[in-house]
A and B are shown apart, each in its own frame.
Chain A
């Protein structure tokens, strides 16, 4: 398997009331393509910050992140935007869908931007919605859907771009067990069928149990006593 990410001595800190707050420290690890990986740990240990760094929406204050073998430190904002558009899908706990667009329109949002024509865009989006069990909801607005359905639409939007990796920040946190289970199944299905890499931050034991690798973060560092835990989903 080839390497998707390589983190080399990554630190992240910020200033607050003239104090330097260190969020992430000494991160040195690699993530393989096609992974199904979880970052776990108590709240405030830097899981979301780490996902932000992996999603190229923030930069480390020290160290270097390599994405598909390329150092991302010196890349311009435009290049990062382009990488995010083509290679990375991001899913958030709060969905962040566009309420004025239908499920189908939300799903296909980025496709015209990627040069996909409208017929293919619709076809591609409907396929993803079908995969996530949402094809019968395609013409509804997000506000007409349940929380679980909305989360699946957010995943569909990220998936429709056919990215190399999907990053999801606590994707099941707001969902009931049954819905969370369906979403995890959908992730696994996509990983198997398309080879998409999945990286999560989560507290969800079920998601952890399904993950191929679980990294535990403690006070911004990977806990050496627990990392990495290889599971057998």
Chain B
């Protein structure tokens, strides 16, 4: 085997220009593959960050059987003993913070304009530390029990600005009308159009007062990224079987999970095209190189060299070209990432997103391995047909080829 490897290695220097052309073909493919994969991961991670740190956290915990069902009287399922649930959740390994929330519908009245909106009672002190993807166009976070912050689209429709008074009008859980005047502290956008056009936020105590309840509808969870949601869910099932959790990708299936699935499918397709380009690009070079060796192969076979050994030598040659080209491509991609693309790639807003992105290539070690292995396999496969064509020739035919 050592001799085969050594012969294959030496054959790479047979025609240095041709070998260099092959290496560059593979390297450019590997480089493109890695950059595109890094870019794709960058987008997916941006989506992920936006989803987690914009609104959802790592997931939400509801009373069991509550999420995904139409509730006639949702407050009957809400968690009345909020502090006890909070303690249970915080006792689970990996939970760094919990964010109680209470969602409700309400009319917002400003002057002669009345609009329906989706309200959320939150703990502003806790949330402002974690939900850092919320951008304030004007104003600031909630600092006072009488503050309200409003999504950009909703604020524009109402025609409110920071410092204005807005009246909320809704029903309590007992069916009575209740209202409250709140001061607009800030106008935000989270980058998610659906939220920015409909949402407003007030302190959870104010929301509970407005709805005449002391309950909490859900807890958003900040989880240590090293702890999986499945592990959290297992613990939750054990210590609080009346609760159930849903990770952010389930909660935001429309924007996050669908986007990720779409990007992955797109990447798979483009990866296949890149590999095909590598294979086609290198096929001709390999075929020409092998054709020139027909006489030499004929002479070796006439002297007793076996087809199997020649298969191995030529196969290893193409694997070496693929491997070296792959390493070269990964090196080029890393260099490009550290220089030309170090500041990221500015991107327009994605579907359902209202913000521009700056995508940084996120190259992970398994991407690098993949960017070496896949072009190597493509190179090897591209060599199979020309090698087979050469080696299936009879020895006299090989000798006549020169």
Contacts and interface: CB of A to CB of B under 8 A. Distances in A.
B304 A85 contact: yes
Contacts of B14: 99-100
A37 B69 CA distance: 98
A83 B298 CA distance: 16
Interface stretch (B185-193, B359-367, B393-401): B393-401
Interface in B284-310: 295-296, 298-307, 309
Contacts, number: 73
A231 interface: no
A128 interface: no
Given A58-B396, A96-B296, A97-B296, A90 B302 contact: yes
Nearest to B301: A57
A110 interface: yes
Interface string A38-66: 00000000000100100101100000000
Interface in B5-37: 7, 10-11, 13-14
Contacts of A84: 301-304
Interface residues on B, range: 20 to 34
B296 A161 contact: no
Nearest to B306: A81
Interface string B41-78: 00000000000000000000000000000000000000
A82 B307 CA distance: 12
Contacts of A78: 306
B402 interface: yes
A49 B303 CA distance: 16
Contacts of A101: 7, 10
Given A57-B302, A84-B302, A84-B304, A94 B402 contact: yes
B339 interface: no
A58 B302 CA distance: 10
A194 interface: no
B3 interface: yes
Nearest to B10: A100
Given A94-B295, A96-B298, A96-B299, A58 B394 contact: yes
A86 B65 CA distance: 80
Interface of B: 3, 7, 10-11, 13-14, 295-296, 298-307, 309, 394-396, 399, 402
13 contacts: A49-B396, A52-B395, A57-B301, A58-B396, A84-B303, A84-B304, A85-B305, A92-B302, A96-B298, A96-B402, A101-B7, A113-B3, A161-B304
Interface of A: 49, 52, 55, 57-58, 77-78, 81-86, 88-90, 92, 94, 96-101, 109-110, 112-113, 154, 157-158, 161
